[in-house]
A and B are shown apart, each in its own frame.
Chain A
Amino acid sequence: MQANGAAQFGRFLFVLLSAVPIVAGVGYALLYSLGLTGVMAEGMTGAHWREVLRDAAFWRTIGFSLYVALVSILIALAIALALVLRSPRTFTKGSLSYMIYLPLSIPAIVMAFFIFQLLGKGGWLSRLAHQLGMISALGQFPDWVNDNYGIGIIVAHVVMAAPFFTIFFANLYENERLGDYLHLATTLGAGRRQRIFRVGVPILLRRGLATVFLYFMFVMGSYEIPLLLGSQSVQMVSIRTIQRLQRYNLGDIPEAYAISVAYTVLVVVLLSALLWFNRRQMRPS
């Protein structure tokens, strides 16, 4: 009985600490966006939602956030998988296994600053290109930060995500005995490319799918990096939401909340799709 009580209390505590704040926050945002609460509450209205959903800039924001997250994760995954499948032991033993943690310990805002220093028009690469005679003035250096393609944001996220995925996949490689799978595939006749693309990559991605997805959502909702490296004309969701919340016009606040609720719905839909995909794989045919 005591054990049962303790388990129930544990569950209650978990729900209290994890679910309640999120549900409360989203609930408040929903009520605010519907005009049911807040300083400018005017009673139940769908006007703010209509405003947001009809605004092309909102859809550009969602699309841009998805694009940045997708490209960043794909590049980081490609780098991490290539490193791990080329030399798996390098990242679990020896000095590199410690050094690879370094980029992970750097705060996002500091990483954004580094990237700004590296890729900006007055940055290190620009100066180097100038010294090498590749450009005659620093202003000729291409726009790699605060640009409409999110190059700076993507580079910063890749620099942070690639080491994370490398450590993650290197440990998966060991725990899932991928070396044995690859040996087995070799004796079945697989060449190097076949081993990588028919065995190594699918096994690592299958096992790591949930983590990859969570990191994708993290990048999509990131704030500090796009704040420093992003463009004003095409914004990521978090930047647009915060800017609307902090405007002098109090009428913008319900719209900011509507954006945050819409973004939450998108996350829940994507998460549900992932769970459905996972369950489908496990279901007997």
Chain B
Amino acid sequence: MLQTKNISKVFQGEQVLEGLSFRINEHEMLSILGRSGSGKTTLLKVLAGLETADRGQVILEGQDITTVPANRRGIVYLYQEALLFPHLNVFENIAFGLRLRKQPESVIKDNVYALLERLELPEQAQKMPEQLSGGQRQRVAFGRALVIEPRVLLLDEPFGALDSETRTNMQDLLKGVAKDYGLTAIFVTHDLKEAMLMGDRMGMMQKGKLNIYDKQADFIADKATGVLEEAQFWINLQDLKK
């Protein structure tokens, strides 16, 4: 489905991405774990076409899209903040991509209301973004992306700004929506638990290099991911309780 070949990028003398080659299958969600500054965001922006790589290729469904402009890739990039357009209400935010494509009004209405229903937001259609909670805004942001049926969805720490309860709800919602819509997605996070919950496969990004694990057991076993350390912390805590 989506493949990269030897992607590299240097920014202000620093190697941000170094020879990244990987592949995601159709309807698969790859979660990428990494600390701040590890190159996760740059990778997503290169895939979306918002940044250019110094070397390498991006291939989508067998077609080299390395030089295809971002607005023609069908790859949607979602930020940590929902970034709902402040001048549009919820309905119009979700309808945005369909209006760009000059879809008939009836198609827009049907699609937007179906998504509002699926995202549990049917009552919010006429509200403005500032009238929504953080979780609701993020749902609208998903709706705005999903309505155009993106070939790949790139999620850059989408739940990073949410409280833990909302975050858990949103993780469940995204898992469900990804299954319903057969999404192909890359989910970037610095939260270990979230990476394991969200990804069908997992990757670890460090200093511009990406290591992808085909099995969850391999991800857990690798000391660099920090899973063992985290698990040991909780085991020790249990022992202290006894």
Are A194's CB and B100's CB within 8 A?
yes
Given A282-B128, A282-B130, A187 and B85 touching (CB < 8 A)? no
A9: Cβ under 8 A from any B Cβ: no
Contact (Cβ within 8 A) B77 A187: yes
A199 and B88 alpha carbons, distance in the complex (Å) = 10
Asked whether, in the complex, the Cβ of A285 is within 8 Å of the Cβ of B126, the reply is: yes
* Distance from B82 Cβ to chain A, minimum over Cβ atoms (Å): 10
B79, CB-defined interface residue at 8 Å: yes
B128 touches A186 (CB 8 A): no
Against A, the Cβ 8 Å flags (1 = close, 0 = not) of B52-75 are 000000000000000001111111
Q: Are A186 and B87 in contact (CB under 8 A)?
A: no
B46: Cβ under 8 A from any A Cβ: no
Contact A184 B86 (CB under 8 A): no
Chain B nearest Cβ from A199, distance in angstroms: 6
- The number of residue pairs between A and B whose CB atoms lie closer than 8 Å in the complex comes to 69
Flag whether B101 is at the interface (Cβ < 8 A): yes
CB–CB A180/B79 < 8 A: yes
Q: A189 to nearest B CB, angstroms?
A: 5
What is the CB-to-nearest-CB distance from A231 to chain B, in angstroms, rounded to a whole number?
A: 39
* Those of A20-62 within 8 Å (CB) of chain B: none
Is there an interface contact between A183 and B77, defined as CB atoms closer than 8 Å?
yes
The CA of A77 and the CA of B92, in the complex, are separated in Å by 26
In the assembled complex, how far is the CB of residue B48 from the closest CB belonging to chain A, in whole angstroms?
Answer: 5
Which residues of B sit under 8 angstroms from A191, Cβ to Cβ?
Answer: 71
**Secondary structure class of chain A's binding surface, majority of residues:** helix
Chain A positions 205 through 227: 1 when the CB is less than 8 Å from some CB of chain B, otherwise 0: 01100000000000000000000
Most buried by A among B73, B74, B100, B128: B100
Q: Tell me the A89-123 residues at the B interface (CB within 8 Å).
A: none
Interchain CB contact under 8 A, B100 and A188: yes
Shortest Cβ distance from B159 into chain A, in angstroms?
17
Fill in one digit per residue for A171-206: 1 if any B CB lies within 8 Å of its CB, else 0.
000000100110111111111001000110011001
> B173 at interface (Cβ–Cβ under 8 A)?
no
Contact residues of B between 16 and 40, Cβ < 8 Å to A:
none
In the bound complex, residues from chain B placing their C-beta under 8 Å from that of A87 are none
Q: A188-B145, A189-B101 are in contact. Are A181 and B85 (CB under 8 A)?
A: yes
A133 at the interface (CB under 8 A from B): no
- B72 to chain A: closest residue by CB: A189
> Which residues of B are found within 8 Å of A202, using beta-carbon distances?
85, 87
> Looking at the complex, which one of B79, B87, B96, B148 makes contact with A206 (CB distance below 8 Å)?
B87
Per a CB cutoff under 8 Å, which of A177, A187, A194, A281 touches B70? A187
Contact of A284 with B by CB under 8 A: yes
Can you list 9 A-B contacts with CB-CB less than 8 angstroms, sorted by A residue number? A183-B50, A184-B78, A188-B96, A188-B144, A189-B97, A198-B96, A206-B87, A285-B89, A285-B126
Binding site for A on B (CB under 8 A): 48-50, 69-79, 81, 83, 85-87, 89, 96-97, 99-101, 126-128, 130-131, 144-145, 148
Chain A residues with CB under 8 Å of chain B are 177, 180-181, 183-191, 194, 198-199, 202-203, 206-207, 281-282, 284-285
Task: Name 10 extra pairs, CB < 8 A, besides A181-B85, A198-B100, A282-B128.
Answer: A183-B50, A186-B50, A187-B49, A187-B70, A187-B75, A187-B77, A188-B71, A188-B96, A198-B99, A285-B126
